[in-house]
């Protein structure tokens, strides 16, 4: 099925000056046909965006269309959002029913202070028979796509029209040592229906008031997804 992708236009935002942008990877897996995958890495042969921390890829095929648009820039010194992994304006359509998994990951985050909170938000629209599940991971293993033993938050399963959600966990430790962030979307796309969404993952420092601030900010992201 992955050989039948009509177009994949992917722009991935990843914001933090200390991260190893070369480790930024996007993976799209066709779970209907045994997990066949398309991989795009920052500045590899499939990446048409030369900027560090952004992926732009175009792949032609026949029945599935996946598009995303995003931007990449470092967070300022006074920002309360000290690490960010975003995949925004994603649109998926297919002429036949298909299950897709879209994953985004990067490694070598290393932040100060050493404690913080993980927050995530998503918002978008689903066709009436399509569903979507979003999960977000922080792992001190510092491995790409490493979700085993990771700290995990999930927004739940969505269906039937507009959706949004924001979740988080506090008490993350060892942020001053290298760690990875990963977000995973499991999408069940009904034939001739559309899934569109914005998905943002953040690490914010303690104290907890910043965690609450981040949740509010990601609530705004969800609202933007509903209006798009």
Residues 6+ apart with CB under 8 A from 128: 159, 160, 161, 190, 193
List 159's β-bridge partners, or say none: 131
Best-predicted range by mean pLDDT (13-17, 45-49, 171-175) = 171-175
The whole-chain average pLDDT of the chain stands at 74
pLDDT of amino acid 50: 78
pLDDT at 166: 92
In angstroms, the CA 23 to CA 20 distance is 6
Kindly give, in sequence order, each residue whose CB lies less than 8 Å from that of residue 175, ignoring residues fewer than 6 positions away: 109, 110, 111, 112, 113, 114, 115, 116, 203, 205
Residue range 101-141, pLDDT digits in tens? 999 888 888 777 778 888 899 999 998 899 999 999 999 99
Query: Residue 83 and residue 137: Cα distance in Å, rounded?
Result: 13
State mean pLDDT over 35-48.
78
Q: What is the pLDDT of residues 166-217, one digit of tens each?
A: 999 888 888 888 888 899 999 999 999 989 998 988 888 775 445 455 455 5
Residue 17, pLDDT above cutoff 50: no
CA 92 to centroid of chain Cα atoms:
14
Give CA–CA dist 23/123, Å, rounded.
Answer: 26
Task: Return the pLDDT at 59.
Answer: 52
Give me the helices (H) in the chain, please.
Answer: 208-227
Among residues of the chain, what percentage have pLDDT more than 90? Answer: 27
Higher pLDDT, 80 or 36: 36
Contact in structure between 55 and 76 (CB atoms under 8 Å): no
Give me the pLDDT at residue 105, please. 87
Q: What is the pLDDT of residue 220?
A: 41
* More reliable by pLDDT, 76 or 38: 38
What pLDDT is attached to residue 11?
30
Structure tokens of 34? 């045994």
pLDDT: which is higher, 44 or 7? 44
pLDDT at 41 over 90: no
What is residue 110's predicted lDDT score, i.e. its pLDDT?
77
Pairing type for strands 179-189 and 98-109 reads: antiparallel
């Amino acid at each position: 099925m992955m050989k039948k992708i009509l177009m994949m236009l992917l722009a991935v935002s990843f914001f933090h000056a200390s991260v190893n942008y070369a480790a930024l990877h996007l993976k799209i897996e066709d779970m209907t046909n045994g997990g066949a995958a398309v991989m795009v890495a920052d500045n590899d042969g499939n990446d048409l965006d030369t900027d560090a921390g952004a992926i732009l890829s175009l792949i032609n095929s026949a029945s599935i269309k996946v598009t995303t648009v995003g931007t990449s820039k470092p967070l300022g010194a006074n920002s309360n959002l000290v690490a960010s992994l975003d995949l925004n304006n994603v649109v998926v359509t297919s002429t036949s029913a298909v299950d897709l998994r879209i994953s985004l990951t990067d490694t070598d985050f290393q932040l100060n202070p050493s404690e913080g909170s993980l927050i995530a938000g998503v918002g978008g629209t689903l066709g009436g028979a399509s569903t979507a599940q979003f999960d977000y991971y922080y792992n001190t293993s510092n491995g790409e796509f490493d979700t085993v033993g990771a700290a995990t938050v999930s927004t739940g399963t969505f269906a039937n029209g507009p959706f949004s959600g924001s979740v988080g966990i506090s008490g993350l430790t060892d942020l001053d040592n290298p760690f990875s962030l990963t977000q995973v979307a499991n999408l069940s796309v009904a034939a001739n229906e559309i899934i569109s969404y914005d998905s943002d993952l953040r690490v914010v420092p303690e104290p907890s008031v910043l965690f609450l601030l981040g949740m509010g900010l990601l609530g705004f992201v969800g609202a933007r997804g509903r209006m798009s």
